[in-house]
Structures are given as C-alpha cells and as structure tokens.
Amino acid sequence: MKRLIPLFLMFVFSSPVYAGDYHDGFDAYNRKDFKEAIVKWKPLAEQGDSKIQFNLGVMYDRGQGVEKNHKEAVKWYRLSAKQENSHAQNRLGVSYHLGRGVPRDIDQAVMWFKRSAGQGNANAQYNLGMMLDRGIGVLKNSKDAMYLLRTAAENGNNKAQLVLGEKYLNGEGMAQDYREAMKWVRVSAENGNAEAQFNLGEKHHKRLGVPQDYKKAIHWYTLSANQGNAKAQFNLGLIYENGRGVSPSHREAMKWYRLSAGQGNAKAQLNLGAMLNQEPGAQDSQEAMKWLQLAAEQGLADAQFNLGLMYHSGMGTEQNTEEAIKWYLMSAEQGHTLAQSNLGGIYGNGRGVAQDYVQAHMWFNLAVMEGNENAARNRDMAEKRMTPEDIEKARMLAQDWMRKHQRGL
C-alpha cells in the first residue's frame, strides 16, 4: 500500500505562564475565532514560547485566521524546533520532505525526523520508519525501519499500527502471524484509523480469515465511511442495497453511493447511475447519465455499456447511434459480451450505420466465444444473409480480435 508522509496537525498548549493572553487565545481558538487567537498568541510566540510558536505554524499551514502560508508556517516551526519542540521538529521534517514552504531537502527532513523521533515523537518515528522501509532518500534499512515502526505503534501512532499489522499479515520482515496482524489492525482501527476500520469491515464482510458478520462489517465500515473513506462508503451502499445483515434500504444505499461517487469511486458512480435509472423521472435519468459517464470515463466496462445503452435507447438523452457505438466499442474491447452483442445488432439492423453483416457476425461471434449463448441465434440469423466468403471473413476478424486481446480460441 503506497503511503505519503502525512501532514500531522496537532496542538500542544503551554502551561498557564501567560495567564491572560494565553487563555484568551485558547478560548478564541476553541470557538473558532482564529483571527483573535492569532492576535493573542503572536506576541507570546515572538517572546519565544515554543509551544505557541508551534501552534502558529499549524495555523499558517491550515490557513486558520490568516491566509494559508507554508513559508510562514516553516518560520514558526523552525523557531520552535530549535528549542527542541518535538512536534515542531516533526512538522519541519514533513515540510522539507514535501517541499512545502521550503525547497525539498530529504537530508534536512531525515535530520529533523531523527531529532523528533529521538525525543519519543511517534509521528516522527512513523515518518522516519517509512522512509527507511521504502528507501525514500535514504538507504533502505528494514531492521531499523521495523524498530521505528514498532516503537511508533507502541507509542500510539495508528498509521504505524496498521503498517505493522499488514507486515505481520504478509510475513514482511518477520514471520507471518495472522493473530498478531489482526491485533494491530484492530488497535489501529480502535484508535481511529479509517483505512484500518475499512480493512476490518472488509474482513467481516467478505469472510477474510474471520467468520462473516455483517453487523461487525457495518460497524467498522460506518466508522471508516464517516471519516470519508470512499471504499467503505461504497461497500455500505452494497450492503444496504442488497440487504445484507440489515433490511434493504434504497435511501441508505443511495446516500453512501453518492458520497463515494462524489470522491471518484467508479463502482459507486456505476451503481448510483443504475439506481437512478430505476427512478421514474426524466431528471433522475439525466443524473444517472452524469454518473455513468464519469464511471465510463474511468474505464469501467459495465458503465460504458450502460451509457451506450442510454444513447442507443434515448433514455435520459437524445437517441444517438454514433455515441452508442462509441461507448459500446469501449466496453466490447474489454470483453463485455452484452456490448458485443448490441454492436452486432446495430450493424445487423443497419440503424444509424451502414448495414454490415460481416461486422455484425464478428461481434455476435465474439459474444458467443466470450460466453454469451444468446448471441448465437443472432449470429446464425446473420449467416443466412451472408455469402460463404463473408462468413469466413467475419470468422477471421473474430479470431484476429481474440489473438489481439490474448483470449483463447
């Protein structure tokens, strides 16, 4: 699983040395009056309070009460980091690693991660561990990486806990141990890691090493989905649409599909489009078309077929045989037998295109070879209107297609 060094944003508030402005700034921040918090805290940061300096760095990184300014954030992180604030050191390392607010410099990133990790900062331990594990700007060192990742996990970093669980699951750098893997994935999930929550939900949903339990799957998926995990949102949509462990709920399914589709999940876009197509209104058909097109543009063969079908039938749009053929072809090229069969029908009927029994026979034949037995009758009907030479030509075209697409003949 590919990971980028994450953006850690956390606040560490100082003890009440500056009773007035400090607490006023804290109160302002809690009520989301970020401009007032900046006004109260900036003088304290300028006087050298490392924790307030770190807080200002975070606010400039986030654009809270000020214009987002990564360069200004780095300035405050550096002042705090030089006073050995481990959180600022870690954030400075992230800034150098990403080239955010400073030129990208892996050596500087490693140096600040090491200083922070040496003080026990779990986020820095995770970041440095991942760099060593992947050999990102440093020599790959699996032993040191595992030490840092385990330390970070034991110190409560939920990303490190998930990575450790995955390594136990795959036997990567250690003996494979499913029980230990599940322990760390569960700890990560319980500590709020959305990906770990999705993983646990999927294991219970699909019976991956644990008994199938839809209630547990829904529990973990929901926690993950509420944090914006598109895969969890999609799987919740599936569960509610099919009524697995719950009563079927069209509304709940649509809700979760819509959330996932909005994040670009092609399967959710397809399912949402298909559900909207079952609704009675023309407006629903138009929205269905929007989602199907987004899924089709991502290369999903089922979506391409359904979009072709809408253009072919004039559902939710003007009938357009040229567009129908375009999307059917994209789907058919991926081996979608219904798209292949429909292409055969278009060429055989000659509606919107020149009638071409050779093309019709080829597409019907491909659909049959891909397992669509219903296309055989249409192919045989086309043969009755063809010369032996044309039949042979169509068969050769089908064989060439199968070879080109590396399918058995």
pLDDT tens string 316-362: 889 999 999 999 999 999 999 999 999 999 999 998 889 999 999 99
Residues sharing a CB contact under 8 Å with residue 239, sequence separation 6 or more, in sequence order? 205, 214, 217, 218, 221, 245, 246
Domain boundary among 101, 119, 137: 119
> pLDDT of 250-297, one tens digit each?
999 999 999 999 999 999 999 999 999 887 766 788 899 999 999 999
Query: Residue 186 to residues 88, 158, 163, 227: CA-CA distances in angstroms?
Result: 29, 10, 12, 17
CA distance 190 to 200: 10
Q: Looking at the domain assignment, is residue 107 inside a domain?
A: yes
**pLDDT for position 281:** 66
Q: Looking at the domain assignment, is residue 173 inside a domain?
A: no
CA angle, 295 as apex, 292 and 297 as ends, to 5°? Answer: 105
Q: Looking at the domain assignment, is residue 317 inside a domain?
A: no
Domain boundary among 103, 119, 135: 119
Q: Looking at the domain assignment, is residue 358 inside a domain?
A: yes
Domain limits for position 347: 340-409
Q: Looking at the domain assignment, is residue 396 inside a domain?
A: yes
Range of weakest confidence among 19-23, 86-90, 103-107, 403-407: 19-23
Q: Looking at the domain assignment, is residue 258 inside a domain?
A: no
Q: Looking at the domain assignment, is residue 215 inside a domain?
A: no
Domain boundary among 98, 119, 140: 119
Q: Looking at the domain assignment, is residue 148 inside a domain?
A: no
Burial status of residue 10 (CB atoms within 10 A of its CB: 0-12, 13-18, 19 or more): exposed
Alpha helices by DSSP H, 171-300: 178-190, 194-206, 214-225, 230-242, 250-262, 266-277, 282-297
CB burial of 108-134 (b: ≥16 within 10 Å; e: otherwise) equals bbbebbebbbeeebbbbbbbbbbbbbe
Is pLDDT of 34 > 80?
yes
Number of folded domains that form the chain: 2
Q: What is the CATH number of the domain that holds 16?
A: 1.25.40.10
> pLDDT of 84-93, one tens digit each?
999 999 999 9
**pLDDT for position 282:** 62
